[in-house]
Amino acid sequence: MSTFSGASASQRPDQPDPTFWSGKRVVVTGGAGFLGSFVVERLAQLGAAEVFVPRSSAYDLRDLSAIHRLLADVRPDIVIHLAARVGGIGANRDHPAEFFYDNLMMGVPLLHESWKVGVEKFVTIGTVCSYPKFTPVPFQEEELWNGYPEETNAPYGLAKKMLLVQSQAYQQQYGFNAIFLLPVNLYGPRDNFDLETSHVIPALIRKCLEAKERGDDHIVVWGTGTPTREFLYVEDAAEGIVLAAERYTGGDPINLGSGMEISIGDLVHLIVRLTDFSGEIVFDSSKPDGQPRRSLNTDKAEQVFGFRAKTAFEEGLRRTIAWYDQIRSGVALSER
């Protein structure tokens, strides 16, 4: 059952409460990554006493002894578990065993050991890839178990979904305050732009900018362009996670999204326009499309802990393109 702890009387329902975070010690696994870096910044703005980011070189979360050291070193009040092995369709297809094992073995022992040492709250970040391949659109949380995930990312999605089972089991048996969030595809500055492992938006931005720079007359896009996706700007996602960590104590999974849906074909044309690429778009239908449609019902996040995405999609894309173009220019200058 969903539970809302509520905001203070003086607090806006869509804004975190700094008085909640003052004095809190928070571990953010994956805090040096794309989404994690924005969560860490937001917690610092809210006055958290300590925000600790365990680096894999010092704390390999697949190693139980490293988890023991982490919890003993920090003694956190809250753990926000963002660390994951992630990637686009190609990376999921090429590394299914690693995506399953690494994500499961980072999460299960960390939650268990956090419960054992008395962590007050554990926030697990799941994935929209856990939903069945043919989930009715918009995806509602109640549909999560009504089918098997899309095959190319099923090992990743199922590993993450087991952390939901664990969260619910520990809440049921031990009363452990463990919650589970389901964000849709994210995008924004600091994303991964490596064409071998990136998701669709950074890959398209990079392809367009580099093709424009080289004077290419076309770009190649995987698939048919017909599947749809929903995207959430990374700063909005960070805000949703912080609000849920502060206010939500229920066992039900909660979607985090923007409530919009766009076809890959329309997305490509939009990015082509925003990057001023004038060449043609060639869809390679021999490559996989992935899940046919993907869009979330986001009513519960707003009702339960006051979250609603604020960043318009085109504005978020403009910021992302500008950030990556600046990074590329800086790299180019440093190599001269």
Of the chain, the end-to-end C-alpha distance in Å amounts to 59
pLDDT at 8 over 70: no
Q: Residues with Cβ < 8 Å from 194, sequence gap 6 or more?
A: none
Q: How many CB atoms lie within 10 A of CB 20?
A: 19
Number of Cα atoms under 13 Å in the Cβ half of residue 233: 18
User: Whose structure tokens read 């690693």?
Assistant: 98
| Rounded distance between C-alpha atoms, residue 212 and residue 32, angstroms | 31
Q: What is the pLDDT of residue 11?
A: 56
The share of the chain scoring above pLDDT 70, in percent, equals 95
Number of Cα atoms under 13 Å in the Cβ half of residue 133: 11
Q: Could you give the angle at the alpha carbon of 147 between the alpha carbons of 108 and 158, nearest 5°?
A: 20
* DSSP summary character for residue 319: H
Tell me the residue type at 251. Answer: G
The tens digit of pLDDT for each residue in 167-205 reads 999 999 999 999 999 999 999 999 999 988 888 999 999
By CB atoms closer than 10 A (0-12, 13-18, 19+), residue 148 is exposed
Establish whether 156 is a catalytic residue.
yes
Q: Which of 103, 86, 105, 127 is nearest to 230 (CA)?
A: 127
Tell me the residue type at 37. Answer: S
The share of the chain scoring above pLDDT 90, in percent, equals 86
Q: Which of 152, 148, 184, 178 is nearest to 165 (CA)?
A: 178
| Rounded distance between C-alpha atoms, residue 188 and residue 34, angstroms | 9
Cα 314 from chain centroid (whole Å): 19
Q: How many CB atoms lie within 10 A of CB 315?
A: 11
Q: What is the pLDDT of residue 196?
A: 83
Q: Which of 59, 131, 148, 156 is catalytic?
A: 156
- Residue 266: which pLDDT band, with cuts at 50, 70 and 90? very high
State in words which class domain 18-187+231-259+292-311 has: alpha beta
| Rounded distance between C-alpha atoms, residue 154 and residue 137, angstroms | 19
The tens digit of pLDDT for each residue in 52-77 reads 999 999 999 999 999 999 999 999 99
Q: Which of 124, 226, 218 is nearest to 178 (CA)?
A: 124
Average pLDDT over residues 221-229: 95
Q: Are 92 and 291 in contact (CB under 8 A)?
A: no
Q: Which phi and psi (to 5°) does residue 248 adopt?
A: -100, 135
Cα 72 to Cα 25, 58, 76, 308: the distances in Å are: 13, 14, 9, 36
